Amino acid sequence: MASGKKVGNGSLEKGLNGRRSSKHKEGPIVMDTPAVFAAVYSVCEENATFFSGGGKGPLGEAARRLVESMTLIQEHAHSLEPVVTGFVTIYHHFDFDPHIPANGYRSLVKVVRCCLLHIVQKGSYIAANRRSMFFRMAHNAGEMEAYCSALCQLRALLYLAQRLLHDNSHGDLFFQEESGLSQSFVREYSSMHKGCFYGRCLGFQFTPAIRPCLQTIAIGLVAFGENYKRHQSGLGVAASSFFTSGKYAIDPELRGSEFERITQNLDVHFWKTFWNITETEVLSSLASMTSTQVKVNRALSVPPVPFDLPLASNPGTSVTIAPPSAHSGPGPVQMRLISHELREGQDSEALLSLSRSEGGPISLVLGLKTKRSPPSPWLLVHYHGGGFVAQTSKSHEPYLKSWSQDLACPILSVDYSLAPEAPFPRALEDCFYAYCWALKNPQLLGWTGESVCLAGDSAGGNLCITTSMRAAAHGVRLPDGIVAAYPATLLTAYASPSRLLTLMDPLLPLSVLSRCLSAYGGVEPQAEKQVERASALSLVRRDTALLLRDFRQGASNWIHSLLDPSSRAASPSSPPPATPTAATDGDAAPAPAEVADTVRKSVSEAAISSPHSDPPVPPEPTRFSSSRESLKSHTCQDLGVHRNSNPHNAPPSPASADVSFFLSRDEMGVPSNLSSMGSQDVSFFLSRDEMGVPSNLSSMGLPPPCRPDGSEQLKEYPLGFEPLRSEQLTQMTMESSPVVRDPYCSPLLAPDSMLRGLPPVHFVACALDPMLDDSVAFARRLRNVGQPVTLCVVDDLPHGFLSLSQLSRETREAANVCAERIRSVFVQKDSPPEPRKHRKLERSGQGTSVALGDIGPLFTAPVAEEEEEEEEEEEEKEKEGLAVGGGANGVDKEGAVALVAPGNTDVGGIRA
């Protein structure tokens, strides 16, 4: 949400905090939504005419592919235009605040616009260079085919979002059940083609600076997956992955298909291993050398000893804090103390006795001449992310060290127990115990005990909120504030518009997310599938063994048939005469038939299929065998249809219809109501009056398509459209557990009485994150119960940007936004932070030129005539304590957005 003045031919200087700065009145050339679609139609039509021969252009296979892609893009665009226009008129109803235009519907529309603008840019490049002798016809045809496939899948997602808008009668972001549309989305995800988003189109929706990082991660992932389980040592896997990564770097289609295969087939143990690569000594040492240097970086192991803490309401009374014991019994809690300065108490004997060795050099600077700073009045308790299954504080050291320097305070990062070995609630017990231990021992941490803040990202953001809820339940001191970066506040499988983005997100695919949540919820993960490819030598060895076995068995059977006279009598050349006994006795089979059947059962399938073997005799049919055979034949037939027919017109596979992703409430033993708490205390789903949503909102959604006779069709899309289907169907079997409905697991489902006990909460979310709706919905709940809450939405960055803070300027600035939110907790406990401090986050393109071939991010901007009045109104509201945020993606209430366009593209922005 920014604007700025136009620099050069296409570069834009982005504005400040979502509004035009008074120093930069010249805004970008605004381009409304119809103009964007008109540009798509124009560039596609002009190129299609040229390459079809109308412009005396070249003819050939690559030209034919280009013409087909351009034609199909126009078809998708014609169908998408009214859908996008419809969403623009209603998605402001789902915003947290008029000044923070962010929700899943906006994100979906933004991604579609990004795809369209990439198509316009690529089509303009083709039109400008198609007569050049250096023009690569096949390469550009592949580019257009990839974006055409992506646009087709995005069209399917918008149709699903329309169904969500139509079926969700309450007008909330989340669908209320795990059945119905939620189950339909999972079924569609399991069968829809996703490789196009991981090949040439990888990360197209994010800022250009982060795309090389995402491509490197994707190449490393597929290379690591190819060699997974082949080598026992991590060095062997790393070496093999390095040598096999080249083919994935030069072949985007191969990378996309392998990425899709890995995400659909490998279980949580693979992702646990891959995400923990950053914990290896080589990578952690490299990250340590490039990050901020600190004087204290000590790993601690606190023994599981109960202790007493005074109650916040009555300091004369204490409560006993028990050590964590769920699942595996009492055990020590691992932590890490990071401090930029050596403070009093951080080198004490009591703290050193708790230190644990990590196999590296001592990271605590000691010496007689070492200056010890006084204890800090601030303490930051940090819970790392990792999907509840992976990583430790070591992976998050780079930005934690930077925070320790910027905030001038010690940081205690908790290494909580990880699933699936330690599912819920063990991680919560570890985090709560560590928080209470910090309150009990401030003198060991270089802290005076004055102000404490909880901070965490992703899964750690969830643990920050639930730890505070548990502290309120025990009556101990609450933290002064919570800073949660892109947290997961709802662990159920409810569908929402932002969660539809899991189809294309390279860091958070739905299949990976489901496995992590299943592990944390206590559902035993599936057995690990051996999907690694066999080597050529092993294939030769296997085929040779099968050949020798079949030859030995065939020779034995042939010799047996020569020596056995009854076998010769049963040969087809001399069939036995039919007798009345044989005709009437159906229970006893002739002896020759028994021998023949025994022979067929012993010979392998390769021998049976040989032209020299006897034809197989079908067994006597039964009702069970016929039904099973019929199901198998139908499934194989439909899979063949998917492989051989046009993907756009292929019917949905019945294999995907049998996906068992959710359990019914009866199967889980869950009551029909949302929880056992009283309905008067739970207000998760707001009424239309509370939201200000018009009563006819659901009429703007897409009802189920109907057949010509008027009956409802059991499909998710309009007649005549079908998304691309994957050849690698996956069985999504994440079993939902009643545990995920526990308020300490899914705080969004907590009753109002529990939410009223929380300290001020500051959310930092990503506009293109599948977890965006978790932050927006939870912030709205807190606001409705009167709790202080702020929401900041950063632009064009993926989920997990804190772990990427060293890789680009945009991610570093976003990490600084989180640090400023933490500072606001310490400095201004009772007032929200001033958003003007975060303006540098949106100035990601200032003073630079955009390279040809890159389409920049979309930012929201208000209408010029009202911008000064809106700035004055916002400043007044901020002084009154209203929640604020900056850098939201999407389109505001006027629908105007600006973008960074390439130098040869006359596209300055969009207005709906």
Query: Which residues participate in catalysis according to the annotation?
Result: 458, 769, 799
> Which residue(s) pair with 737 in the sheet?
none
Cα angle for residues 364, 366, 372 (degrees, 5° grid): 95
Backbone angles phi, psi at 483, to 5 degrees: -120, 110
Query: What is the DSSP code (8-state) at residue 754?
Result: H
CA atoms lying within 13 Å on the CB side of residue 593? 11
Q: Please answer whether residues 165 and 175 qualify as being in contact, where contact means their C-beta atoms are separated by less than 8 angstroms.
A: no
CB neighbours of 508 closer than 8 A, spacing ≥ 6? 502, 769, 770, 771, 798, 799, 800
Which amino acid is residue 833, in one-letter code? P
Q: Please answer whether residues 521 and 488 qualify as being in contact, where contact means their C-beta atoms are separated by less than 8 angstroms.
A: no
Nearest to 258 by CA among 212, 223, 211, 217: 223
> Which residue(s) pair with 793 in the sheet?
765
- Radius of gyration, CA atoms only, the chain: 31
The three state secondary structure string of 328-360 is CCCCCEEEEEEECCCECCCCCHHHHCCECCCCC
Q: Tokens at residue 585, please?
A: 């006795």
Cα 858 versus chain centre, distance:
21
Q: Tokens at residue 388, please?
A: 């509840």
- Cite the DSSP H helix spans in 10-60: 33-49
Q: Please answer whether residues 252 and 215 qualify as being in contact, where contact means their C-beta atoms are separated by less than 8 angstroms.
A: no
User: CA of 142: how far to CAs of 125, 200, 246, 466, 888, in Å?
Assistant: 14, 8, 19, 48, 33
Cα angle for residues 188, 888, 34 (degrees, 5° grid): 70
Query: What is the DSSP code (8-state) at residue 493?
Result: -
> Which residue(s) pair with 338 in the sheet?
297, 411
Nearest to 170 by CA among 606, 559, 496: 496
Residue found under tokens 């010249």: 26
Cα 509 versus chain centre, distance:
4
Cα 175 versus chain centre, distance:
18
d(CA 672, CA 868): 51
Q: Examine residue 420 and say whether the peptide bond preceding it is cis (omega within 30 degrees of 0).
A: yes
d(CA 699, CA 656): 29
Nearest to 184 by CA among 701, 659, 672, 733: 659
> Which residue(s) pair with 789 in the sheet?
761
Which amino acid is residue 439, in one-letter code? L
Nearest to 411 by CA among 486, 487, 478, 346: 346
Question: Edge to edge, what strands does the sheet with 858-860 contain?
Answer: 858-860, 896-899, 909-911
Backbone angles phi, psi at 11, to 5 degrees: -75, 145
> Cβ-count burial of 683 within 10 angstroms (0-12 exposed, 13-18 middle, 19+ buried)?
middle
d(CA 456, CA 487): 8
> Cβ-count burial of 233 within 10 angstroms (0-12 exposed, 13-18 middle, 19+ buried)?
exposed
Backbone angles phi, psi at 122, to 5 degrees: -65, -40
Backbone angles phi, psi at 264, to 5 degrees: -95, -20
